[in-house]
């Protein structure tokens, strides 16, 4: 049967020869799958910067779906999504600044801290 090449990005295999491999690696489906894979590991600041430069997708805003999906050249993020992403970026920047200053940051999330704070405030008010 011969050697077979397995592409991790596309999750498919084919007979391994120069022509088939070159055809696959330059194919639209492979390039799209490869881009989606690497997009999973981008930081929030890069995503925010890219989304802010795009115009909103009218079809997505009207219907909630877009035929182009992740390949659409317009943004599928709402104002609330952009605000959340912006807050996440600011939080990450503050965290990096604190780490550079040498401040010891306990593990946990902001939600945990807010929950504990709310309990302390309600306990203080009841006393």
For residue range 64-96, list pLDDT tens digits in order.
Answer: 899 988 778 999 998 899 999 999 999 888 888
Cα(90)–Cα(68) distance, integer angstroms: 30
Return the pLDDT at 1.
Answer: 56
Cα(3)–Cα(86) distance, integer angstroms: 48
And the tokens for 121? Answer: 């405030």
Q: Where are the domains of the chain?
A: 1-41, 44-103
Q: Which of 22-26, 67-71, 104-108, 113-117 tops mean pLDDT?
A: 22-26
pTM attached to this predicted model: 0.59
């Amino acid at each position: 049967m011969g050697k077979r090449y397995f592409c991790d990005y596309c999750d498919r295999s084919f007979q391994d020869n120069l022509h088939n491999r070159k055809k696959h690696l330059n194919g639209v489906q492979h390039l799209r799958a490869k881009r989606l894979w690497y997009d999973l590991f981008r930081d929030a600041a890069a995503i925010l910067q890219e989304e802010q430069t795009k115009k909103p997708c009218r079809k997505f805003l009207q219907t909630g779906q877009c035929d182009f999906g992740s390949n659409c050249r317009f943004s599928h993020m709402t104002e609330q999504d952009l605000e959340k992403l912006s807050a996440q970026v600011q939080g990450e920047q503050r965290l990096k600044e604190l780490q550079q200053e040498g401040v010891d940051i306990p593990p946990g999330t902001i939600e945990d801290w807010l929950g504990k704070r709310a309990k302390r405030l309600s306990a203080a008010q009841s006393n």
